[in-house]
Structure 1
Amino acid sequence: MVNFQSRNFLKEYDFDKEELETLIDFAEHLKTKEKHGIPQRFMSGKQIALIFEKQSTRTRSAFTVAAGKLGATVEYLNKNDLQLGAKESVEDTAKVLGSMFDGIAFRGFEQQTVEALGEHSGIPVWNALTNDWHPTQMLADFLTIKEHLGTYQGKTVTFVGDGRNNVAHSLLVTGAILGVDINIVAPDSLQPELSVQKLAKELQEISGSKSLITANVEAGIIGSDVIYTDVWCSMGEEEQLDERYKLLNTYQVNQDMIDLTGKPDTIFLHCLPAIHNTETDIGKMVYEKFGENGFEVSDEVFRAGYSKVFEQAENRMHTIKALMAVTCGEVY
């Protein structure tokens, strides 16, 4: 039996293939139980700290709701509530929080911060996103693929856009662990870090999967079972709109790209938020500047029946529930 008790989840390769698959399967089991109204109070009386340096909709909601459904209480701490790294070291903060809480979720900038929390707190720490990795997103993504395609084994997942970001890196490594082929379709200047590519290759030697990293849209898209993208320009980066559009406009996920897969059951994923129409500030700017009704994805694709983005978002809660339950709860 896999032993998760008191373990950290700081990056995807903290867990091996069997462990990741166990988590995904357990999340699917908990989701089914929830749909039938069966309670899952594996963490009654537990106290969870959410340390968030970055804004969040899905991740914060997923941890809060999942903890509540498991019987735990959540304390939300943003960057203004703590002295983290300013007047108090991460190590000291970790020791203090570890003496009071039963688990910590960290969403922030530096991977070394969440690693230090995991090293010094003495309680399970979960990476809810750093600049380097987004492991809890991966659990939701591969559960969604399994639900809609029956399996992720033998499938090809293609990420299109900015291949240097944490989601692209995490997909490349998670696919390598699980034995899923991963394509990254991105301009030469926006392809994954070489260290991440090297790690993925090492993991692929074990799993037997492969990857294709290319700037050629047609070469990367044909045969894809899943097309996945992420925002090209986040809030606060408006000054980069022109540069991003110039680099990435031929990488927009639109119906022509979906048709290029040659697969009748290809699904579309996006970790959200998405710039797919003019109902956001950035969406309005994109339309005014470039005449595009959508940036990284067209509104047609985003709203299509094969788009599973909202199921994917819901699965953040189910997979985070499974992760917290097995590492911090009374499951076994």
Structure 2
Amino acid sequence: MSVRHFLTLLDLSSDELRALIARAIELKRRHQAGELYQPFKGKVLAMIFEKSSTRTRVSFEAGMAQLGGHALFLSPRDTQLGRGEPLEDTARVLSRMADAIMIRTFEHEKIERFAAVSRVPVINALTDRYHPCQLLADVQTFVEHRGDIQGRTVAWIGDGNNMCHSYINAARQFDFRLHIACPEGYDPAPDILAAAGDRVAIVRDPREAATGADLVTTDVWASMGQEEEQAQRERAFADYQVTDEIMECAAADAVFMHCLPAHRGEEVATSVIDGPRSLVWDQAENRLHAQKALLEFLLG
């Protein structure tokens, strides 16, 4: 049987993704009930971090511990990757020692090269092109609070970045409508957008994007590696803050999400992220449960 990887949401079928979300909700229930479930005794997850992280590291490390396994934190400073060892050589060695490998890096091409020679499942924990694990948590959170996301409308307000790309893929896989509000020059990648067809529309007015939306979501204006563009981006995105006014354009029971970390007063108003419609803390917690379900799926 060939190895299954999770580099984008498109690596799983729609049915597999829906089953994974249901399993994440069940694993969360069992964990909160205090049930011990440790099918991964003797299993090891290698975690390669070329980008810093809070939620990704803690959720994967805690998840493996809760499942009875062990997680290894590896940074470029701790490995030969930081001294120029070919990526493929590292992949060949690690995949003979670990049962799964999680990578958080910059170029998406790196994780594709790594997965191409790995003997074990490789999980994309964020690249400059996609952030699929976050979308598992987001969809789980919506399902828990509002039911099935199929047929709903989601408003993405902000940069056409890796999170936006994964929302586009999610619209395809979970069958919802996505309105993207971004300033000109910050659109998502044309190939990713085109593949989604009429499920996705770009608009320039965030109020128009939010109108009737069941979920409004956003991300920071300047992601890791774009800090030198901060001032330029603040000017470009000045009209793209998710405010109470924006949320009033959405459906009466609309919810707000943010993948975190958040910059209050920039991409989101304090009154929104800390308000009654915000699900960001459930969303952050669900990284743990969704990734446990993902690991269980990939490791069998």
**TM-score, length basis structure 1:** 0.87
Opposite residue 221 of structure 1, the aligned amino acid is A
Is 1:270 aligned to 2:258, yes or no?
yes
Output aligned runs, 1:227-306, within 5 Å.
227-234=216-223, 237-261=226-250, 263-276=251-264, 294-306=265-277
SS at match of 1:188: coil
Opposite residue 297 of structure 1, the aligned amino acid is V
For the residues of structure 2 that align with 1:259 and 1:230, how far apart are their CA atoms?
19
Output aligned runs, 1:29-108, within 5 Å.
29-84=26-81, 86-108=83-105
Aligned partner of 2:208 in structure 1 is 219
Q: Please provide the CA RMSD for this pair.
A: 1.6
**Maintained 8 Å contact 1:137/1:316:** yes
For the residues of structure 1 that align with 2:168 and 2:38, how far apart are their CA atoms?
34
For the residues of structure 2 that align with 1:255 and 1:12, how far apart are their CA atoms?
31
Is 1:185 aligned to 2:185, yes or no?
no
Aligned partner of 1:120 in structure 2 is 117
For the residues of structure 1 that align with 2:43 and 2:113, how far apart are their CA atoms?
22
Opposite residue 126 of structure 1, the aligned amino acid is I
| Cα displacement string for residues 282-311 of structure 1 (whole angstroms, at most 9, x for unaligned residues) | xxxxxxxxxxxx110010001001100010
For the residues of structure 2 that align with 1:237 and 1:174, how far apart are their CA atoms?
25
| Cα displacement string for residues 172-222 of structure 1 (whole angstroms, at most 9, x for unaligned residues) | 111111101111110121111111111222xx6xxxxx2221112232111
Opposite residue 314 of structure 1, the aligned amino acid is E
How far residue 86 of structure 1 moved from its aligned partner, in angstroms, is: 5.0
Opposite residue 263 of structure 2, the aligned amino acid is I
For the residues of structure 1 that align with 2:190 and 2:224, how far apart are their CA atoms?
27
**Maintained 8 Å contact 2:214/2:255:** yes
How far residue 87 of structure 1 moved from its aligned partner, in angstroms, is: 2.5
Aligned partner of 1:22 in structure 2 is 19
Aligned partner of 1:316 in structure 2 is 287
SS at match of 2:178: strand
**Maintained 8 Å contact 2:155/2:215:** yes
Aligned partner of 1:195 in structure 2 is 191
Aligned partner of 1:140 in structure 2 is 137
How far residue 237 of structure 1 moved from its aligned partner, in angstroms, is: 4.5
Identity of paired residues, percent?
A: 39
For the residues of structure 1 that align with 2:256 and 2:200, how far apart are their CA atoms?
19
For the residues of structure 2 that align with 1:260 and 1:49, how far apart are their CA atoms?
44
**Maintained 8 Å contact 1:188/1:214:** no
How far residue 235 of structure 1 moved from its aligned partner, in angstroms, is: 6.0
For the residues of structure 1 that align with 2:184 and 2:229, how far apart are their CA atoms?
18
How far residue 241 of structure 1 moved from its aligned partner, in angstroms, is: 3.0
Opposite residue 307 of structure 1, the aligned amino acid is S
Aligned partner of 1:168 in structure 2 is 164
Task: Out of 191-200 and 238-247, give the one that drifted further.
Answer: 238-247
Opposite residue 166 of structure 1, the aligned amino acid is N
**Maintained 8 Å contact 2:76/2:82:** no
For the residues of structure 2 that align with 1:93 and 1:192, how far apart are their CA atoms?
32
How far residue 65 of structure 1 moved from its aligned partner, in angstroms, is: 0.4
For the residues of structure 2 that align with 1:141 and 1:32, how far apart are their CA atoms?
17
For the residues of structure 2 that align with 1:323 and 1:175, how far apart are their CA atoms?
19
* Counterparts in 2 of 1:93 and 1:235: CA distance versus 1, 3 Å: closer
How far residue 88 of structure 1 moved from its aligned partner, in angstroms, is: 1.5
Opposite residue 226 of structure 1, the aligned amino acid is L
For the residues of structure 2 that align with 1:243 and 1:123, how far apart are their CA atoms?
42
| Cα displacement string for residues 106-159 of structure 1 (whole angstroms, at most 9, x for unaligned residues) | 000111211122121200110000001111111001001111111211111111
Q: What residue ranges of structure 1 are gaps of 5+ in the alignment?
A: 205-209, 277-293
